[in-house]
Chain A
């Protein structure tokens, strides 16, 4: 490679035509071919020489870019008058012209009206050089402050968010932590920082025993939160949010859907509160929320209870927190995306978890849907088809597949409607998206019609209406009214808006606490991301 380049360098000599053109421009009419050749060789050599000298100035100027100033200084070395006042807005300021059988590039020199320059207001004075100090390292550990680069380089973050799976490979993780490579076993603190960067460690099955004090404390808090006393609730909301994860764990194990809904609403309330500084507690909150999105089982009767709404709600919550808190330093969004995508791509993932993953991803915005979900449509379609058309396996699977299908259609339709060029041919959709193609097509057509309709009645409707914001409510009546009232205006209202099963008797009160909690993190395989350990956040 390098040799080829070198040899090419050798042969680069200015064409003799340019010599002729230049001679003409200074008034020398006919230049002989021989002199042209001699000239062009000489000029090429001198240009190379000057470029090589200019490089020296670049190196000493501690830059990576060669500037026109460097060339000027190199010219000065050779006792040549530098080119004063070179300035160009464009990268290559040449124009091309042909005619009379000749082609040439020329430098366009516009006539400048002096009065224009005089009358234009002066440009703003550039800021003066200033000095700022920060800690690059404290006792060998680099603090995560805005002045320092994010622990994971930006390029990696970019690839992480577009291709989350690549980054999960172990080799790549290593790359992310180059910074700590080679530090050896020498310093424990440094190791700690490297552990911080390993994304989402799935903890194997383990049991946590709670002390009596913790049990009592938990009972108190729960009662305060769920109870009627508003003042008490405020107090515990303010300072006990680190208990969330813990509570979620407990309730996931107990499959206490109602309480989980309460907890999620509390998280939402916390996030909506602008006066709270939640950044410090994100590592407690996010695992709890993610658990509510992707957990295999959230309620006692998955076939009848509407845990789907909880997942939707939690997913929206997640998206909100991503928007609010994701920075290049903590990199929440790409880590979340990675978690979801990993679970989504696993074949063994249960329908419930799958639903959560898709919901979580979809809430992150159109770009995420476009890059991560739409390419998966045909695969998911095939999977759904297998469940729908295949032998009856279990009711739960069927319900799950149905939910996933409607969710996919709901989210993809609007995106496809925006990105896909117009003729919506069912056949083409089938080719592109497989099993779901047909339904998707009709949804897209509907979405387009809706968009057109809204464009007509533009004065008051906004696009956001098409995205219903269901409120989570335990009370059945309130829910039905809210969904009922909006139903006509939205494209499709999935039945998932019904929170609880219509069957009465769902426990809405916490079951009496057992004397000893044993929290089980039942993540046997990597696929079932049941409970995400808090320390990873």
Chain B
């Protein structure tokens, strides 16, 4: 518990404390359930900086009273501490908080347990929603009936419902009459105001006014909000609001707008002159206006950044330092054989042992100033087999083809035949020797794409008979009788939406609709662990580049960080307003990127669970993410058919690649990062000149304080090639160590 509250604590310590949390839970499953449902509402700690205002304090006191009434002593304690309410602070309680918790749990008080779990996730403070009310909501727990009313009560009856149209059109007229340069910025107000006013009408049971309001103004909204409007238009009753988490989140989180100071002054003056309190209240309560000094942004600049469910990310969110550099490669003596033919001689007896560093090794010798400390995240020790693999990797990389616009990669396409539309996920091992497919019929299938067949380990009885001293013991433990080209793994009870190989090729992860993530052994081809926690469909999972850790994200709107030897998550990354659709580890394993249906991408710090970057700009759910090999850039693809490129260090969008006509399900950088390959539902693989895209960004823009840049519209120049497949959507892309591009997808006979 303490570890969770103290973000700076070492991960090791945290791991120790984790089981403790479990031990005082009544049952793991219930604990899971709780975190699953609870963390789905955005959680937060009270504002970190500065003393709360007077009214905030009053609210806080009210919250405290509520918590006390519900015997949530832990929460009371924590909230008090976080908020800096000094009057009855008891330090003694702070230390044995968990002890107090135990007492409650023993009594079977689920609420207490829930609250504790919720605070666990609160360790990831959400900058998006800083309302104390929210805290109350999360703490109050499982039955959301009271919460909803608490949240929604913010919609107090204000003004005549029939006048809403007048208010809105008044503002609309004003915005349309202002100077061009301000109009684009102020137009951003339309959508959040529209939604809030509509919901307010619905909440106050003015169904007909709400419908009229919707019909009159829904046409004015930007086309990329269509999906949201479709949800909204179905919602006409107060009762509907209760079950709709997405809209509930929209209510409780503040929509972030970035507006220049001039435009803001203009708006403020107008609203005050007109005494348009209704709109002013909404702006005050539900919008967060991020004011910057400088020139107002143009329409295209705004359009490139907007589109997410919760507005843009605040500028200060993306100010946090991100260590995007790579970790130093472990020093491994590479036995460089003179004859390449004898590269197979791996048994550690090379004739000459020159410790010549190859290009990769020498590069990493210099410490990257942006790299995190080597032990910032405890990483698993390298085993001998890992070292051998590293050596293989270096050997392969010397034979790597240098790609570029003049030298495009060859693409080998693996087509799944007879999949009957059932292929849902694919992954390759790093050395491209194995291929795994997840299917809608709940199976996971593993293929060997090299002549080497898949073999199981012998049974325990047979293993006893083996001479353990022999040199080829690793060969001997394998059962030749089981050799086959593919193996099927049965265990899930729903479609498998994500598969990921461990870097050492001994394990496979799969995530499924049944709410579990499963770990499979590729030696015995059996399931080792089922990680339960999401309780709702798990859309994606991925192993850390160093193994041991993995991340998963699902319908419950959180991403979780796990370690293979813990059956509880180490971190819960909560903050997305809708499903987490894809999860990717940064190459240095210190960060996790998640893409979501709320059309944002977030970058999370694995060490403390903080959200360190929010990228907005996509107009549809994000279905693919890829880090560049140097860790500096992130590419993301979504259902809108666009690939966006992001600079992680500066937290800015630096490119937009248009060309695909359907959802992009796979993205991959070449091993040198010079080419970005994207595969889509439109049956094409496209290659982009990522080097040029990164180079062409004007670096002066990064230093500007406004936090936005001009995007060059050069998709056509950056597109190096388009390759059509025969009605085969491209599900996965992978660059081999020698830069051959492998693509995979299921042939669709219709």
Contacts and interface: CB of A to CB of B under 8 A. Distances in A.
A186 B723 CA distance: 16
A7 B215 contact: yes
B419 interface: yes
Nearest to A146: B726
Nearest to B724: A149
Interface string B406-429: 111111111111111111100000
A186 B720 contact: yes
Interface stretch (A126-134, A226-234, A426-434): A126-134
B440 interface: yes
B581 A135 contact: no
A496 interface: no
Interface residues of A, number: 56
Contact of A52 (B214, B231, B410): B231
A59 B725 contact: no
B440 A139 contact: no
Nearest to B719: A182
Contacts of A64: 681
Given A41-B237, A128-B418, A140 B721 contact: yes
Contacts of B719: 182-183
Given A6-B218, A77-B536, A134 B412 contact: yes
Nearest to A9: B233
Contacts of A41: 236-237
B726 A147 contact: yes
Contacts of A131: 414-417, 435, 447, 449, 486
A331 to B, nearest CB: 15
A69 B420 CA distance: 14
Interface stretch (A43-51, A309-317, A506-514, A524-532): A43-51
B685 A10 contact: no
B731 A62 contact: yes
Nearest to B435: A131
A325 B604 CA distance: 59
Interface in A39-93: 41-42, 44-45, 48-49, 52, 56-57, 59-65, 67, 69, 73, 77
B495 A186 contact: no
A148 B725 contact: yes
B417 A73 contact: no
A455 interface: no
Contact of A133 (B231, B449, B639): B449
B646 interface: no
Interface string A352-371: 00000000000000000000
A149 to B, nearest CB: 5
B633 interface: no
Contacts, number: 183
A118 interface: no
Given A6-B218, A6-B233, A147-B726, A60 B539 contact: yes
A184 interface: yes
B642 to A, nearest CB: 15
B609 to A, nearest CB: 26
A162 B537 CA distance: 49
B734 to A, nearest CB: 13
A2 interface: yes
A65 B681 CA distance: 12
Contacts of A128: 418
A259 B245 CA distance: 84
B223 to A, nearest CB: 7
Contacts of B132: none
Contact of A147 (B415, B579, B597): B415
Contacts of B729: 62
Interface in A126-170: 126-140, 142, 147-149, 153
Contacts of B234: 9-10, 44-45, 48-49
A140 B687 CA distance: 9
A41 B235 CA distance: 10
A140 B726 contact: no
A2 B231 contact: no
A178 interface: yes
Given A41-B236, A64-B681, A137 B555 contact: no
A133 B435 CA distance: 12
A297 B741 CA distance: 54
Given A41-B237, A48-B234, A139-B410, A7 B725 contact: no
A6 B230 contact: yes
B618 interface: no
B283 interface: no
Contacts of B727: 149
B421 A133 contact: no
A132 B724 contact: no
B413 A133 contact: yes
Interface string A180-222: 1111101100100000000000000000000000000000000
Given A6-B233, A61-B495, A186-B406, A136 B723 contact: yes
A109 interface: no
Contacts of B243: 49
B629 interface: no
16 contacts: A6-B229, A48-B234, A52-B231, A56-B597, A77-B536, A128-B418, A131-B435, A135-B411, A137-B411, A140-B721, A179-B722, A180-B722, A181-B722, A186-B406, A187-B405, A187-B406
Interface of B: 211, 214-215, 218-219, 223, 226, 229-231, 233-237, 239-240, 243-244, 405-424, 435, 437, 439-440, 445, 447, 449, 486, 494-495, 497, 513, 536-537, 539, 555, 579, 581, 597, 621, 623, 639, 659, 663, 665, 681, 683, 685, 687, 716-717, 719-727, 729, 731, 741, 743, 746
Closest 6 CB pairs between A and B? A140-B408, A3-B219, A136-B411, A136-B413, A48-B234, A137-B411
Given A63-B421, A131-B449, 6 more contacts: A3-B218, A6-B219, A6-B229, A73-B513, A127-B418, A187-B405
